[in-house]
Structure 1
């Protein structure tokens, strides 16, 4: 029973982290699209988006999720 509870807690934490990263990516994309790409990159870094993700979404539109800011 304790192991099941730990799994649920881990999934909730992962989901929260993913939601926070998703929001930060969208803010960064907005900054990049409305301003300069380096503004979006800086904002994403400040909000804790891993470099691999920020560079992927900023440099390659086809690698964005369907839920990413357009």
Structure 2
């Protein structure tokens, strides 16, 4: 898995891209406290750490995949 930081809040995750449509993200234990969007979703939607992530991070993942810094792993 490839380490990646969110450009909005610097939350660190590990990402694996298996195809254009399949992405695996490992969130660290501090995600709910360092990512404002993640914290808001977990509070409002009453979900735990498995709640969907943040749009800024998803955009950063797409950018990293597009520029080749996040390789596809077959």
Max Rg structure: 1
Q: What TM-score comes out, normalization by structure 1 length?
A: 0.28
Q: What TM-score comes out, normalization by structure 2 length?
A: 0.28
Q: Which structure would you say has the larger RCO, counting Cα contacts within 8 Å and 6 or more residues apart?
A: 2
Please state which structure has a larger fraction of its residues in strand. Answer: 2
